A and B are shown apart, each in its own frame.
Chain A
């Protein structure tokens, strides 16, 4: 008989609002404190100290509008946050500062989280939804120059971009973007040429979230329906459906693959976190702790494998942190 699923290692309370986004920053050497950044519906970004389980700092930069994306840029001192006030803010958090150094005004009003990719030392590419309905813009940070605009062809009827992922196979190669759209399709874009390389209809409903494993050229997407879709990228840069997995309850908000590519976690509308093995999508665990829709899941970037954690932020205003399959 299988063991019952574990309980969360600890739970972070105190956001006073639904948690929409999470990002770990634990990779620094000792004596750096492992941190967790969370963005909430009340516009605050909380910086949690994972040793004391308390809020170290609260950042208020989005005019009390919901923060739905938080990412670090090369370390815990530089933070990027995206809010419903149509701003993407860049923060300088070194030495205790909490100031916004720069911001990008987004013309897009929506919920599509931006995607960051480090292309060189001090240079990042950021993909975000653009003003026009179906477009995605790629900006270079910190210069904020527009690299390209990815426009689907006329009549493609993809709808809004729902989720983005920028990646490159290795440091020198072309960056590419995977975008999931409202009509349920995932499109692979070549950032340099601005052309779509491949399009695959993965779902009948909007793609809510996707993640991609560049080593195995395999990705997974979740939607508001009951199906998880796993697709692969072949040598011709074509997307093909690899397999699908049917879930018990419909609705996935977020999917993330652990950095070691062994397991992945999904955040469900049915208040449950599901863990799957990445290799064969073998269901491993269902973590049932939250009492509201889970909006985000994130794996930590601890250098020591045994310390690895999984965090989930939910509408019930709590962040649960789990240690699961850390020994493998």
Chain B
């Protein structure tokens, strides 16, 4: 990268006193590629050192970075959770337990996805199921280390594939027949 003075100097030396805005100055035969870049972009200063930013801007940038890094690393480390693609209205099974947990500590949760809340590290899923005749709703954070895997049981479980799901949140199902949202058999 050339300095400002160097760029002006080269321009002045090669143009032999012609001002910038004449037709001759804009002709490409007389100009080197570097001069063309200067003519195109102008002689504005280039920032060598990192640009000075106020503490508020640096803070917001830093927060974005931190959150983005964590989200990325979590998604890379857990393909079982983030690899399965599911939508609102599908039936899902989650396996919840720590990595070193024993068999009796691991539990499987099934349910219909009523809504997905995408908030970075608080990415969460609202599940509804009818267990032993009792409707149960649960919100589960997908970035939690307790979540081991997500498995798609049935697509478009709510309408059994006959109609499309045309909503982002299916809260209206709470007032409807509970059979629509019953995933577990008993």
Q: Are A and B associated in one complex?
A: no
Query: Which B residues form the contact surface with A (CB < 8 A)?
Result: none
